[in-house]
Structure 1
Amino acid sequence: MLATGNLTLNHLLAHRAETDGDRIGLIWESADGRWAEMSYGDLAERAGRLAGGLREHGVGAGDHVVLHMTNRLEFVVGLFAISHLGAIATPTIASYAVDELHYVLDHAEVKVVICDPDRRGTATEAAALCSATPPVVVGTDELESWLTAQPPPAADVAASDTAVLMYSSGTTARPKGVVLSQQALVLSGEMNAQHQRLRPEDRSLCVLPLFHINALTISLLNTMATGSVLVVTEVFDAARYWSQVRTYGITVGSLVANPIRQLMQLPERAPDARHSLRMMIFGMALSDTEISEFERRYDVPLINIWGMTENGTIGTRCPPYLPRNPTSVGLPMPGIDLGIFDAEDRELGPNIPGEARYVGSPRLDGYYRNDEITRATNRDGRFCTGDTMSVDELGYFSFLDRSKDVIKVKAENVASAEVERVLATHPAVADAAVVGAPDAWRDERIVAFLQPVPGLSIDAEEVREHCLRHLARFKVPHEIHVVDEFPRTSIGKIRKNELRDKARGNT
């Protein structure tokens, strides 16, 4: 039996409504400065009534419902409404292009899409392309009409039932559907709450997107587990961040590298360290200098973490009170046995780089409709992360690189194969290869190398416009280079290591 037993999201919300029903649980601030708040009791009531509306539109246990929106209260209501029915929430990246969203709708055989008004056009167009029955599309501005007078009884949901299907970029041309159970989400929320030492009087600030596992488990579900308050902003705005921290009395923040760098570019002011923050959770690499300068200027410790969609963010954490190495991603979380292995499946000793593989929970149940990849990522019962790490003599892990061919752009995963697939559909492109290069602003920039069709020329701006029609903006190459031919191996594979050297200016 795991630490959270057989509890589900339905138990979590019912408990909050019963014990803290009148307490404010959520505060939302829009991009233009409007705000709204919701008590735990109101959240439970609205989630139940929305579940009634979803059921009237054909949603039942095991069905997929897409949440396609920026950070909004409706995302949280929708998540728990879907769970109420025993259905499966499928969050999607808000900036998806039509083709990307259509793939998810088709692959998951989605019944309903809940989107914000700005994404209604994309969702409607994507739904119309579905090969089976198109999903119903409803805007958040229409949801009031979907609320039934009374909520239906909650479904008999087991901890082992699927709670969310999250699409994660990887080495394939299309994102993989990561299947996470009710137990995985509740356990992740509880363990994150314990790591952050959250108390009911704490207030967490969520500026990262809820459609990613980071914000979902490190910000939302841990506050639900403790009955504390979550302040959710529609977007991250560096110029407003510290004002939001002070206005709402925030005690715990969570960021990734790029927003931290944006905060460091603000003009330094005397009140920078005057706030109530006691901890800033962060993911992704920062330099020693960046870490020490941020902590000096803002007088708050940066607590580094490592996790992934497949493990519900429960991987490693820098301990808040034990010896802390800020440049390390810390020690394994309770219940996680993490080791470093070579290609021959031998566990490696201290300070030798290899692939991080782990046993423990939470952990994905598998990749949706992809048994082949599910099997390939499991070796002797361990999940193969595809991340290259090392571990020192004290057991502190350091993240070194991704062995998967994934580019990290402002905390977003971009599969090079997905970008290459789109580039190859341009009529002037005979072949394409995409690599990442270090970038102080974006974390990594996307560098595309294109081989033209004989007799045709490639216009870089025209290619970018082509990509924008099929990809989210953050996936569009930042640099485009035309090559006569690619360096290749003896079996014809492109030597991407040579292209990476060129992209980084090493040749």
Structure 2
Amino acid sequence: MDLIEFLKTRADAYGKKVLLLDRKRTVTYREFDSVTDNIAYGLEKLGIGPGDHVAVMHPNDIEVLCSYYGIIKAGAVVIPVNTIYTPREIEFILSNSDAKALIVHENLVSTVRKIHGDVPAFGNMIVRTSHGTVEESLVYLLGTALKECPAKKMEADDPAIIFYTSGTTGKPKGVVLTHRNFCFGGPNIAQNYGLREGDRTLAVLPMVHVFSVASPFFGSLSSGGSIVVLNKFKTDYVLEAIQAHGVTWFPGVPTMFTYLLNDLGDNHDVSSLRMGLSGGASLPVEVLKKWEERFEASIIEVYGLTESTGLVTANPVYGIRKPGSIGITVSGVQARLVDSDDRDVAGGEIGHLIFKGPNATKEYYKLPEETNTKIRDGWIYTGDHAYRDEEGYFYIAGREKELIISGGYNIYPREIEEVLHRYPGVNEAAVIGVSDPVKGEIPKAFVSVIKGMVIEEKDLEEYCKSNLAPYKRPRIVFMEELPKNTTGKIMKKELPTD
């Protein structure tokens, strides 16, 4: 099955049921199928065909999802472009991806026009106005009405979306995800999250990231659920949407759960919420426990990455959940922990986390060396270190590149961060390794404090002394807020190392 047939089966099954809604409109399953047919037809009239790449640069909106699926129905490949990128970064994505067209919101056109290079996508620029739709923009551009596009038949391994990673370790690289990846991943997510036809979720994570597309969108599309689309994360917006729309599950990154916990008031009704879904980074155990108590809903911790179409492991919805664990492998996916010689490590020992399955990327776009290094015999090498307990639950120890070696000792930042989060008043904590003339590296902790509270540095240092071995005790620096990317993940590379 390809994604075109995948949507047709859902439209036939759920017809007039609402798939997407925001403050201004609702779109049923049948309407979404029709709208995306029209967009595909318009793109074909512009000369976009199977295998072509079409970039989308647009803030979160129902129109983004319509554009993505319209591109896929034209047999083309979606290239999401982050709206906060500079002209230099945008030019790199558009050029590197070989995009032939660009769908862009009118408010971002001025940024795009600062690019002076020869970018083929500018030859087919579809500008969506604030008060119009992508369909209307195509009608205006073509001077003719749109109609249903004859269905294409795509192969399972044909690319559907190329997500460019955030570039935390260098230039962004394109992760190629196929029709097979999403046709497997959507139902797999729905099954492992226990999603139901009556569920409503929030799409507030940026749609340039796989988490937002894979979990709220494809998870809901697979289960007959509905998606409330918000253009950005603000705690007031999220809490109001939960109450107004009866949202039952909320996917987010750890910082979002922290902010929601801090801002939940007695005037907010979140009784419809059944669960939160935390991914993208490690959720401090203390935050998890407090959030579940305040919201009277469970948090399901999961693990995935762009290369996995969103999901590798998850805590069981109806089984045993272990705080601090990323859970067990989801159905159809294999995971192993190996040493530097690719030998499986013993239970309880830390190893390199690798996985394989129908959800795994087949390649990095135009990067054969990277592909051969990180994808071996179908196994994806994640760059994460983890260990597994006797019941098969995985626990992330830290990123391979974040490992701190201090005086011969291995230190994983997460252990220190968990200790810091248990101290009253700590809002966020991030630990990195910094150079030391004697030990090579030492841990340095950056801490933000909950608004209205005060933490004395000497008191926090004493707390660390009581909870950490001497070589793990960090230098502590207080910040008003830690730097984050568009998903809310803390950007450790932007923390000062001096």
Class of the TM-score when normalised by the shorter of the 2 chains = 0.7 to 0.9
Aligned positions of 1:1-400 closer than 5 A: 7-29=1-23, 35-126=24-115, 128-130=116-118, 134-141=122-129, 143=134, 144-147=136-139, 148-170=145-167, 172-266=169-263, 268-269=265-266, 274-283=270-279, 284-400=281-397
Structure 2 CA distance for partners of 1:216 and 1:441, relative to 1, 3 Å: farther
Quote how far apart the aligned CAs of 1:169 are. 3.5
Q: Is the 8 A contact 2:159 2:178 kept in 1?
A: yes
RMSD of aligned Cα (Å): 2.7
> In the alignment, residue 140 of structure 1 is paired with which amino acid?
R
- Which runs of 5 or more structure 2 residues have no equivalent in the other structure? 140-144, 404-412, 415-431, 433-442, 451-489
CA contact (8 A) 1:161 1:181 kept: yes
Contact 2:200–2:248 (CA under 8 A) maintained in structure 1: yes
Q: TM-score, normalised by structure 2?
A: 0.78
- Matched with 2:467 is none
Report if the CA contact (8 A) 1:170-1:405 is conserved.
no
Give 1:118 deviation, angstroms. Answer: 2.0
Q: Residues 268 and 25 of structure 1: is their aligned pair in 2 closer, same or farther, counting only changes over 3 Å?
A: closer
Cα deviation digits, residues 96-152 of structure 1 (max 9, x gap): 1111110011111111111222212223333x4235574422222263031443122
For the residue of structure 1 that corresponds to 2:201, the secondary structure is strand
- Rate the CA distance shift 1:12–1:169 in 2: closer, same or farther, 3 A: same
User: CA offsets, 1:402-423, max 9 Å, x none?
Assistant: 1246999xxxxxxx9xxxxxxx
Counterpart of 1:18 in structure 2: which amino acid?
Answer: D
1:442-481 equivalence runs, <5 A: none
1:428 maps to which residue? none
- Partner amino acid, structure 2, of 1:24: V
Q: Say which SS state the counterpart of residue 111 (structure 1) adopts.
A: strand
Alpha-carbon separation, structure 2, partners of 1:441 and 1:138: 44
Q: Distance in 1 between matches of 2:301 and 2:286?
A: 15
What is the TM-score normalised by the length of structure 1? 0.76
SS of 1:94's equivalent in the other structure is coil
Deviations 1:304-326 (A, max 9, x none): 00000001112000001211102
Name the structure 2 match of 1:459: none
Change in 2 beyond 3 A, CA 1:274/1:179? closer
2:50–2:75 contact (8 Å) kept in structure 1 = yes
CA distance in 2, matches of 1:338, 1:476: 27
Q: Which has the higher contact order (CA 8 A, sep 6+)?
A: 1
Instruction: Decide whether aligned partners of structure 1 residues 12 and 379 sit closer, same or farther in structure 2, where only a CA change above 3 A counts.
Output: closer
Cα offsets for 1:190-237 (capped at 9, x unmatched) = 111111222221111121112111010110011111221111111111
Alpha-carbon distance in structure 2 between the residues aligned to 1:351 and 1:272: 42
The Cα shift of 1:363 comes to 0.6
Say if 1:441 and 1:260 are closer, same or farther in 2 by CA, change over 3 A.
farther
Name the counterpart of 2:418.
none
CA contact (8 A) 1:12 1:224 kept: no
| Counterpart secondary structure, 1:214 | helix
Deviation at 1:437, TM superposition (A): 5.7
Relative to structure 1, is the Cα distance of residues 133 and 339 closer, same or farther in structure 2, using a 3 angstrom cutoff? Answer: closer
- Mark the CA change 1:20 to 1:389 in structure 2 (over 3 Å): closer, same or farther: same
Deviation at 1:436, TM superposition (A): 9.2
For residue 113 of structure 2, give the secondary structure of its aligned residue in structure 1: helix
Distance in 1 between the 2:218 and 2:66 partners?
13
Q: Is the 8 A contact 2:39 2:70 kept in 1?
A: yes
Shift of 1:56: 1.7
Deviation at residue 268 of structure 1 after TM alignment:
4.2
Q: Deviations over 1:422-451 (max 9, x none)?
A: xxxxxxxxxxxxx99655589xxxxxxxxx
Q: Note closer, same or farther for the CA distance 1:395–1:382 as it changes in structure 2 (3 Å cut).
A: same
Asked if the contact 1:170–1:404 (Cα under 8 Å) also holds between the matched residues in 2, the reply is: no
SS in 1 for 2:366: coil
Q: Deviations over 1:375-424 (max 9, x none)?
A: 0013454211111111111110011211246999xxxxxxx9xxxxxxxx
CA 1:439 to 1:119, structure 2 compared with 1: closer, same or farther past 3 Å? farther
CA distance in structure 1 between the partners assigned to 2:182 and 2:444 by the alignment: 31
Count of aligned pairs between the two proteins: 415
Local SS of the residue matching 2:4 = helix
Q: Say whether the 8 Å CA contact 2:338–2:351 is kept in structure 1.
A: yes
Q: 1: distance between equivalents of 2:335 and 2:102?
A: 37
